[in-house]
Structure 1
């Protein structure tokens, strides 16, 4: 939604071309880089009011000097407050304190600032998706998804693998059978109360765009009220493979292992993984031909899985001197998706390519295959997740969040692919890609370097014959360096940066040897990958069994479960479930790999 180092359109239906234009609703939302955090400073007002608040309590954001977090937390508790979410990106944490203690806390040693958390206001207390051109109700209309629903194609029978930050059981993702949990390969997998759950807030948002569906929604879905949340493919199933922690922290080795797992288990009993969503991308400094991450994605494609990747954030890619598109989107075999913007209307003629969307630098360079809606989209909110706490500007109401980025665009396309495959299950990945390109609508004011074939439109695909088409590019080899695949972002633990040809366990990664195993679809052996035990080796109900990491990490610390038990969670609940115990021990991470540009 907002990141674009590794973890990322709007088309009117044919029947509405020129016939219907909605007024632009509301004020456009300012796009902010996800790496930034806006805190509304209202301390002066709060101080003057504190004396009148008596025993009332207030929510605050506490920023500390680097390394002074623990004394500050002790100070909060000493004043009768409680410590909530740790916000490593600003050296701070959220807390609830007696209102009368605000001035005292602000003047204590080691504390940079204490800001009342009064900016957490919904965009609208009476949000109406029917008047929001970027709601999922509107998006599924103007992309043509609802035309597929009307024809009886809703994604049923298609599994979409989402390698991301997990999925939380919020309304819209809590229906029976909606989510199958694959292995949790994240650094949070050793905390039982966090396994598979989305503490970041990204994976749930993305999964909802793909296949979210309210329990009360009824097929064929286009007749449901706009207030009923429905993703692009309401009856598709999400297979969630969690690789990211609460602050987005993950390493390329985890993502590669996750891709390999998807390939090997795509057709296990009861499974039918036909689509893989990667709202992720690094600014790799090597060619796709040698890049290990690109090779893994290409191997998945050639195994019969349609791989959809976000094109990346233009500003981040250029500022770090990488190829125009993110890795693995720069591999020409897979589908690379850029972002389009409805500009607040539901007619196609004024649609634009989002300013943040990466494109080709020159005529023969890799461009996005096409663009899809990715600006200011309505998605599912995960209360108290990292994104929820750090980006209040994205909040719509208690249930929904708004985000922009090629992450969202990739999710929209993954849902579109699920619809197409539910109509014609025999399509090969190359055919799917060609059909989506052939059906795209050319945006007249933009060249192919930034929009590719044009903007996603599903309606023409209902009557389009399957093309006889096979791609022919230079095949990837995967014999390059894992370190170069990481680009400029690295995972950090205990102050030690993960670098070089090693995985999160500190074990050497023999890239050519792994590539050879990937080509044979055998890089996983039970729960082992690269000689390490990452997960269990069996299904239990609707989830994959876990495993205890007893080895050491690249930093020399143990991955045992006890090392993940000390952090705290602020305890929000949804759908009858709640976060219990602890969370968010958090590695240091900028979050730029998740291909978003802003929230709001």
Structure 2
């Protein structure tokens, strides 16, 4: 059984870009029964996907009693199902239930990070009529969920909606013990309060949804728990940022063909009106090979190497070796990329009230999430597809497109000057 690793795209100034190994876990539609000997029938973590017309809690409780499954998260909004700890033979027995669509091994998630934000200047956030960057600190009427390592709940530069915090990982709090999620939140929405940094949508309400632990790891079930929570609050949350990625593909059927529960959950959440913005990945590979970047229902963002916040390629390298104003040398590419945004040497908020500079497609994605938030402020009824189209139409090709760009297509660079 393969282990699936997820990562939130990240690299510190002092560390090299982390490599990621991912594999797709098989769906356990018909698992053969094996010996009860614990050496041949080990206990593992599983995700059980039920028929949509089932009551997830009722079925989960029945399975816990009948098959001794140790039930964890129960999903009832973005996905009908539950997560459980059980043996392989117990999972096979559960899979045989007519109410069950499929059972799959749970996956593991891990962060992979890569950073005035020069990015704010590069996307012209300071000229946005909605952002109104004028040194007046006021909340913006839009809500953005950050599915990540949590968010520093009392960072002075963030408008964190603490009552909306959700912890789907270990521990008891959605507070950020890593820093990555707080960095993402700052790029989206750091306050215009004349201190620290400023985000693309200053003062937007941040919903911290902790799906990765302090080391940046988490199970698929924890990520689905976060998506499920966002979907349950889709009447309040307009945007969700997910800087997560792993090897996988889009089956064109919301995960129902290849048994991808996370894809089905995201499709349901998008149908509920939430716009998802995701990182393309840092493997210098076709994004079609990575999920959720490959999903058609999300906005997938690659990273621009930008060192001075201006076009023209005249920026001097700062925190990393790269070519100014071109696609970052670590960024994924391909037909699934919807937008490109600054992703190198981005300064933003960090855990325990601090600030730091890091790089990655994880840093590019929240620029676009902030842009989506700006658009939703003035277009509250816009669907996720309309948000994507509006951002692409507002984008610019004013960046240096290299002749050796592997995908042969120049994506629009996020620009929020008119939003």
| Residue 263 (structure 1) shift | 0.8
| Residue 444 (structure 1) shift | 4.3
The match for 1:330 is: 294
1:164 aligns with 2:148: yes
1:184 aligns with 2:167: yes
- After TM superposition, list the pairs within 5 Å mapping 1:485-564 onto structure 2: none
**Greater fraction strand:** 2
Which residue of 297, 311, 320 maps to 1:348?
A: 311
The match for 1:135 is: 116
Secondary structure of the corresponding residue to residue 336 of structure 1: strand
Which residue of 301, 323, 343 maps to 2:270?
A: 301
Secondary structure of the corresponding residue to residue 332 of structure 2: coil
Question: Structure 2, unaligned stretches of length 5 or more?
Answer: 21-114, 314-324
The match for 1:381 is: 350
Secondary structure of the corresponding residue to residue 207 of structure 1: helix
Which residue of 418, 436, 449 maps to 2:407?
A: 449
| Residue 29 (structure 1) shift | 5.7
1:182-215 per-position Cα deviation (integer Å, ceiling 9, x unaligned): 32110223xxxxx11111211111111111226x
1:212-262 per-position Cα deviation (integer Å, ceiling 9, x unaligned): 226xx1xxxxxx4xx542211112101111111111120111111211221
Distance 1:305 1:174, change over 3 A: closer
**How far apart, CA to CA, are the structure 2 residues paired with 1:452 and 1:294?**
27
Structure ranking higher on relative contact order (CA contacts 8 Å, 6+ apart) = 1
1:345-404 per-position Cα deviation (integer Å, ceiling 9, x unaligned): 3322321111111012xxxxx331011011010012225xxxxxxxxxxxxxx9321111
**How far apart, CA to CA, are the structure 1 residues paired with 2:169 and 2:252?**
25
- After TM superposition, list the pairs within 5 Å mapping 1:559-598 onto structure 2: none
The match for 1:527 is: none
Distance 1:166 1:238, change over 3 A: same
**How far apart, CA to CA, are the structure 1 residues paired with 2:154 and 2:234?**
26
**How far apart, CA to CA, are the structure 2 residues paired with 1:354 and 1:152?**
29
The match for 1:548 is: none
**How far apart, CA to CA, are the structure 1 residues paired with 2:198 and 2:250?**
39
Secondary structure of the corresponding residue to residue 128 of structure 2: helix
1:89-142 per-position Cα deviation (integer Å, ceiling 9, x unaligned): xxxxxxxxxxxxxxxxxxxxxxxxxxxxxxxxxxxxxxxxxxxxx722x43233
Counting matched residue pairs gives 296
Secondary structure of the corresponding residue to residue 312 of structure 2: helix
The match for 2:384 is: 429
The match for 1:357 is: 331
**How far apart, CA to CA, are the structure 1 residues paired with 2:154 and 2:215?**
19
Distance 1:209 1:444, change over 3 A: closer
Secondary structure of the corresponding residue to residue 187 of structure 2: helix
**How far apart, CA to CA, are the structure 2 residues paired with 1:300 and 1:451?**
29
| Residue 147 (structure 1) shift | 1.5
- After TM superposition, list the pairs within 5 Å mapping 1:241-256 onto structure 2: 241-256=209-224
Distance 1:34 1:380, change over 3 A: farther
**How far apart, CA to CA, are the structure 1 residues paired with 2:266 and 2:291?**
10
TM-score by length of 2: 0.64
- Residue 169 of structure 2 contacts residue 212 of structure 2 at CA under 8 Å; is this kept in 1? yes
- After TM superposition, list the pairs within 5 Å mapping 1:120-269 onto structure 2: 135-136=116-117, 138-149=118-129, 152=132, 156-169=140-153, 171-173=155-157, 178-189=161-172, 195-213=173-191, 217=193, 224=194, 227-267=195-235
